[in-house]
Structure 1
Amino acid sequence: MDTDFTIDDTAWRRLLEGVAAHFDELTRMRGFQYYKQGRVESLALRDDGVHVDARVKDTRMHEAAIDLGYIAGSTCDCSLERGCSHLIAALMQYAEQCGRPIQAIVNARAGVKIAHKTGDGIGAGSGTGRPGPSAGASAARTGAERGGEQPNAGRPALRSGGAVSPRPRPTLTEQELTELSVAQWHERFLLRKGPLHMHVRTAQEAGALLDELQAMRPELPYALEQLFNLHASLFVLEQMVKPAQADWRQSGLFMGFHAQQALDGLVAQTRQLLEEKLALASGSSAYWRHLLETAALLRERMLTEDKTLHCFAPLYQSLWLHWLSPASAGSKPLYEEELQQLQAARQALGNALSPLPWTIAQCLLLLFLERDGEAFRLLRERGSSLLLKPGHLTALLETLNGAGQWERLRDWLIETGPLLTGFRADDLAPYGDYWSIVAGQLPEAEPAMWDTLAAMLPFSRKIYEQALAAHGKWERWIDYQIYSGEEPLSFRVGDLKPIEKEAPELLLPFYHQAVERYVLQKNRDGYKAATKLLKRLSKLYARLKREERWEQFFAAFAGRNSRLRALQEELRKGGLLS
């Protein structure tokens, strides 16, 4: 089988044209995530040099077959009838093998449009697998070399015949990106946006605007490229969010399904960008100023966005967790300065401040500074008014978990548990998982876990029961079921198997009480349930080698209820009475 992955410029251009025509923006974004997560398990070029076979892991392994000469003819065994993200991920892996730029596939539509206008190839690349200079970048450099924007670039120019010529399209050179502030980047983005991208409400519209912004830049140093890509995404995100917030006072904040789906996809894509290590050597880098300006921009957006959107808060957290964390470029003076900025923002914004992200942001910085007590006091002061959700704590708890700081993680779990009330069991599951980790690493934390989870009842019921079962606390587990009035038949047989194996005698009172409740219902369904449970009791007594005790009980039970003919019938059907 041929493993020589090469592709000439003409074939590469045809491939990108096929991608642009056959895959929408959301599919390409998801495929890029799969590629970055390393889900392409294998990739093989067939002997004909035109077909590629790949295996891509999702919820299960998918088999993809790519036709390089006719992309629309590519197939995947997933449920989608049209081009899917598994094929895109495989195509990106193929591009990497060929030394072609991955970004060219992500931005295929913009690259194809520009290539058709200029007649150039698309993203020839340098054979590195890193995004190389696209046709849009080449066009941007050419414009810059000719003098960049002219003083009258904002006005339409006249040709000799009096016809209006298109105004020059704004671009950005490497020097401009280095010298300008990120706020000025966004001003250029706004000029580039133009009337064709007036509304951004779907994934396709968001992707088209992203493609347009990517066409503004030349090939850049990797760190500057990372910052540019982040701000391009932030700009598009803001174009989606601003109209929704502007209409809020008149109609209440509401976004349609497709708009919300596009928004969620863009936020996920932006977080993916932030999770890549930033290629800055130190705080003395030429781009350090841009990084701090990025932090300021995200802070301002986070503190003023509507609480129902929750777009910029997770991005602010990701910036500090991945690009400005203690393990990256962050430092104590930087965190102290950011805390002061947050306090100043509270005074400046007043009632316009969003209290929840403001509080969580401070807690994260205080956690970095190992000033947990101050963070706890801040959470206590805000209390239930924050409407804290388990997901809001994930960044804080995961930071401690990743660092293996079990004592601190235990203290955070104790402190935040009482604030997480009113949520479903599934929402609290991650919180319970952290307790399991702490108890496994720090056995002396177990009493604190029981006390905290018990204090959170009834909301913590599921994770409390799971913890009891995981630690073999069967007596306490049975007591809780009896106390809460739970029925044995509401559990699957497999759920009770561990107790039958390890402590079967604990099930006796649980079953006996339930039998009496079923009989008191005085109906056929109750009698059937009682009979079913009595059969389990019979086997349980035999397992305990207490057959005599069972016979005494059942004789008394049958005699006491001899006038209940329906019950007697059910007992005979069950083989308990002759």
Structure 2
Amino acid sequence: MLQDMISKTVVMDAAEQFKHVLPCTEANIQLMKKALILYRQDSVYRVKPMSGHTVSAYVQDVVPVKVFIDLADVKKSSCSCPAQNICRHVLAVYLYLYAQYDRLGTFTEFWKEAQKRRENRDILGQLQRGMKPRSHTLDQWTSFFKTEFRRWEEHTPKNQQTMQYLYYGYFSALKKRTPAEPELKKMYQIHAALATWLAMHSLVEKGRIDPEKDFYSLNPYIEQLMDTIYSSIDELKTYALSFSLDPFLEKTPGAIRELLLKKDIFQYERLRIFGEIWSALLSRPNWLKRELDVLNDLEPSPEIQFGRLHLEFLLKNDDVILDQAGSFSPEILPYTFQWLSVMTAKKDWKRLKKWYEHLEQLASGFCRLDKPYREIRDVLSEFFLFLSDYSKNAKEEHVYERYCKKCLPYTFTEYSHFLYNKNRFTEWMEIHSLVGFSISEIGQNALKDIAAAAPEALIPSYHREISGLVEQKNRSSYKEAVKQLKKLRSLYKKSKKQDVWNRFMEQFSARYKRLRAFQEELKKGKLIDGES
């Protein structure tokens, strides 16, 4: 382990050096912000101690760069990027090392002090202008949310304590107190949305809202709260999160855990929000480990199980998750999409290879669940989008095909496209027949392509089509059967099986010799008595 090879003392001593090498100037503050972005986006990888005070690592920026950091003399650190002095990549690697031993807020105290001096000057200016400065803490926000909810309950008749009134009354009141600062504004919106969601659960627990009866009326408002949270997270990710947000981020796990621990209603949505906030804003190793300890001490439940697994995923402890995969219910499949999307976005094909080796049983099990066809189809359709990206980029198309076969008939569309693009037309026609497609239901362009490349692939389907038409025993179906027979004759000719066609036609005509109308149509079509 890294901690066994690099001592905490060496890392902490280097902090003092960085404070002097990077004085608190506006340029260096921007440099620190860029380094924080790289660290928080998990861009530092392959960190390898070389001695008791030197480390090499890679950083994924616009292009990957290699960093060498000397903790005994940080000025000797180097990077393969063009920068002449200490760059954001070297600093990002140091932030990664520091976070293994202590919270980054300790290291950034110097920067905080400088920031506080600027804030004090601003406050002094406000006081001189007769203005009352506003302070913000998460505890203050939480206290305000609770006070406002009590006020809303007191002033809202019980028959009006519905999700609609909660959203447009309570949530709207919270939004009026949104801070003006961009970063604080987005953080506040996330917590206001969480508070509104928790307030809904409070109304459920008090019997004011019936979760089953009112589900469809609740759903649009939950979606809007989720949109607020997602959009706020997206905007926060565009900033280099300032150190002043650390006190808010450090206390956010408690709020999101409270939502996670609610029961039954909107379980999938609650887990999605839990996963997104942890992935985007809270994925520092020491925070993850601390929260994992908290969840491990709680009574097991599906929500707690997912929470633990998600934190293990963010810590890259995939083996811990995959070792349990055999005991998972197939119901968990859609919950893995958060993880698959992260690995796919990072093009981490090596990591995904192990995942797809273990998810096959879950995917095939999901197909056997007692659920409506459309519901299973929708989940598998999303799953196969991730699998398709992996199979193409990792050149593992055999894995994609194996999953397609396991999940038929729900994967008919995916498997059909796969076979067609591979020019495996015989199998393509077989699966169409398997699910009941007739020749008349297959597009003309596809029929032309197959007839040109592999005419023999169409022959069995034409035989089935023609037999079905004749069995209808009416003049119009006989005429259509003759048209199809002419196409079948062409296919036999292209396949150089004219003798097989001749024998078939002789036997086919004899089988239906009692159907006079059909015999007449065969003669009109010149398929018997003078066929070419």
Which category of TM-score, normalised to the shorter sequence, fits these structures? 0.5 to 0.7
Change (3 A) 1:317 1:251: closer
What SS does the aligned partner of 2:268 have? coil
1:553-564 map, 5 Å:
553-564=504-515
Change (3 A) 1:244 1:180: closer
Structure 1 position 510 matched with structure 2 position 452: no
Matched residue, 2:407: 456
1:74-89 map, 5 Å:
none
Q: In the aligned structure 2, how far is the partner of 1:537 from the partner of 1:274?
A: 60
How far did residue 343 of structure 1 move?
1.7
Structure 1 position 488 matched with structure 2 position 468: no
The number of aligned residues is: 391
1:366-377 map, 5 Å:
366-377=312-323
**1:292-314 CA-partner distances (Å, limit 9, x unpaired):** 32222212212323155533222
Q: Give the partner amino acid of 1:413.
A: Y
Change (3 A) 1:441 1:305: same
Matched residue, 1:397: 340
What SS does the aligned partner of 2:243 have? coil
| 1:504/1:540 contact within 8 Å kept | yes
Change (3 A) 1:243 1:193: closer
Q: Which has the higher helix share?
A: 2
Of 555-564 and 495-504, deviating more is 495-504
1:432 to 342, 364, 384: 384
1:261 to 210, 220, 236: 220
1:266-305 map, 5 Å:
266-278=225-237, 285-305=243-263
How far did residue 212 of structure 1 move?
1.5
| 1:400/1:409 contact within 8 Å kept | yes
Task: Output the TM-score relative to the length of structure 2.
Answer: 0.63
Matched residue, 1:474: 425
Q: In the aligned structure 1, how far is the partner of 2:424 from the partner of 2:194?
A: 50
Of 494-503 and 524-533, deviating more is 524-533
**1:134-187 CA-partner distances (Å, limit 9, x unpaired):** xxxxxxx99xx999xxxxxxxxxxxxxxxxxxxxxxxxx742x22736542432
Matched residue, 2:198: 238
**1:423-448 CA-partner distances (Å, limit 9, x unpaired):** 533331122222221221122x2222
2:172 to 208, 211, 231: 211
Change (3 A) 1:558 1:426: farther
**1:32-87 CA-partner distances (Å, limit 9, x unpaired):** xxxxxxxxxxxxxxxxxxxxxxxxxxxxxxxxxxxxxxxxxxxxxxxxxxxxxxxx
2:280 to 322, 335, 341: 322
What SS does the aligned partner of 1:424 have? helix
Matched residue, 2:139: 180
How far did residue 527 of structure 1 move?
5.1
How far did residue 514 of structure 1 move?
4.3
Q: Give the partner amino acid of 2:358.
A: E
**1:440-472 CA-partner distances (Å, limit 9, x unpaired):** 1122x2222222332233443332333322333
Q: Give the partner amino acid of 2:332.
A: L
Matched residue, 2:361: 418
Q: Give the partner amino acid of 2:190.
A: L
Task: Output the TM-score relative to the length of structure 1.
Answer: 0.58
Matched residue, 2:485: 534
Q: Give the partner amino acid of 1:340.
A: D
2:297 to 344, 363, 373: 344
1:20-31 map, 5 Å:
none
| 1:342/1:358 contact within 8 Å kept | yes
| 2:466/2:481 contact within 8 Å kept | yes
What SS does the aligned partner of 1:304 have? coil
Q: In the aligned structure 1, how far is the partner of 2:207 from the partner of 2:239?
A: 40
| 1:511/1:537 contact within 8 Å kept | yes
How far did residue 389 of structure 1 move?
4.6
| 1:178/1:287 contact within 8 Å kept | no
Matched residue, 1:93: none
| 2:164/2:221 contact within 8 Å kept | yes
| 2:296/2:308 contact within 8 Å kept | no
**1:279-324 CA-partner distances (Å, limit 9, x unpaired):** 7756x93432322322222122123231555332221121123223
Q: CA RMSD in A?
A: 3.7
Matched residue, 1:163: none
Q: In the aligned structure 2, how far is the partner of 1:577 from the partner of 1:204?
A: 79
What SS does the aligned partner of 2:261 have? helix
